[in-house]
């Protein structure tokens, strides 16, 4: 009987030991979560900061837009979203599109106004190209504008100036000063 008690106690202790080691390993592995499954807050100043973002604004029949960026920071109290390496695609109600790119972007989430700065490029679906240092978008006016130097290129011409206003509502564009144009021959 004494031998049988020792065998039972040994078996119970072995089972408890195996259970404890298994529980420890399971607990340890559950603490390891891949970085892809966790949304990291990377800044003390931002409420939310994410990488490789795609934001689509829908609901307005005349204008839809999508923003892609390598990194975005959102500050709720300031109604601001900041973007690094930003691409903004505007889809107009008439079927036209404009693709804007820049190093930095800033969106006012209350007014939906946006500013893109640093190596700003604009390409329209009809092949027009614009380059400038910064570009502002007024949502209420449906207008793109800048006070910086602008270069516009089409297959037939190149126009340079300082300051630009492009109304998406009226489809009017104006270069504001120091305008110079070079017109080539058509094909």
Report pLDDT for 37.
47
Angle at CA of residue 155, ends 186 and 149, nearest 5°: 130
User: Does any domain span residue 1?
Assistant: yes
Together in a domain, 23 and 112: no
Q: Computed over its alpha carbons, how large is the radius of gyration of the chain?
A: 29
What residues pair up with 138 in beta bridges, in sequence order? 143
Instruction: Give the predicted TM-score (pTM) of the model.
Output: 0.66
Q: What is the CATH number of the domain that holds 101?
A: 2.60.450.10
User: Does any domain span residue 40?
Assistant: no
Residue-level pLDDT, tens digit, the chain, 187 residues: 566 666 666 665 656 555 665 655 555 555 554 444 444 444 556 566 677 877 777 556 666 778 888 888 888 888 888 888 998 887 777 777 888 889 998 888 888 888 999 999 988 888 888 899 999 988 888 888 899 999 988 888 888 999 988 887 777 888 888 989 888 765 5
Report pLDDT for 172.
84
User: Does any domain span residue 36?
Assistant: no
User: Does any domain span residue 79?
Assistant: yes
User: Does any domain span residue 87?
Assistant: yes
Report pLDDT for 38.
45
User: Does any domain span residue 142?
Assistant: yes
Q: Which of 132, 161, 156, 158 is nearest to 144 (CA)?
A: 132
What residues pair up with 149 in beta bridges, in sequence order? 162
Q: Are 82 and 70 in contact (CB under 8 A)?
A: no
Q: Which of 126, 74, 71, 129 is nearest to 100 (CA)?
A: 129
b/e sequence 148-167, b meaning 16+ C-beta within 10 Å:
eebebbeeeeebbbebbbbe
Number of domains in the chain: 2
**Reduced to 3 DSSP states, what percent helix, strand and coil does the chain have, rounded to the nearest 5?**
15, 55, 30
Together in a domain, 6 and 85: no
Structure tokens at 8: 């039972």
Q: Are 132 and 149 in contact (CB under 8 A)?
A: yes
Together in a domain, 10 and 87: no
Report pLDDT for 2.
66
Together in a domain, 149 and 83: yes
Report pLDDT for 118.
92
Structure tokens at 130: 């614009």
Together in a domain, 78 and 143: yes
Report pLDDT for 149.
92
Report pLDDT for 41.
45
Range of 87's domain?
48-183
């Amino acid at each position: 009987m004494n031998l049988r008690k020792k065998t039972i106690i040994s078996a119970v202790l072995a089972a408890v030991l195996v259970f404890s080691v298994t529980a420890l390993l399971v607990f340890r592995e559950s603490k390891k979560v891949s970085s892809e499954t966790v949304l990291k807050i990377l800044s003390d100043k931002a409420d939310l900061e994410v990488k490789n973002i795609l934001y689509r604004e829908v609901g307005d029949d005349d204008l839809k837009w999508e923003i892609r960026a390598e990194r975005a920071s959102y500050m709720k109290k300031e109604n601001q979203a900041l973007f690094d390496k930003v691409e903004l695609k505007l889809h107009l109600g008439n079927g036209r599109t404009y693709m804007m790119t820049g190093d930095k972007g800033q969106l006012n989430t209350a007014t939906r106004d946006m500013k893109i700065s640093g190596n700003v490029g604009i390409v329209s679906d009809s092949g027009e190209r614009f380059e400038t240092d910064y570009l502002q978008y007024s949502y209420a006016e449906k207008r793109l504008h800048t006070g910086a130097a602008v270069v516009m290129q089409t297959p037939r011409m190149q126009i340079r100036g300082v300051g630009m206003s492009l109304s998406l509502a009226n489809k009017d564009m104006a270069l504001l000063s120091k305008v110079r144009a070079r017109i080539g021959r058509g094909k």
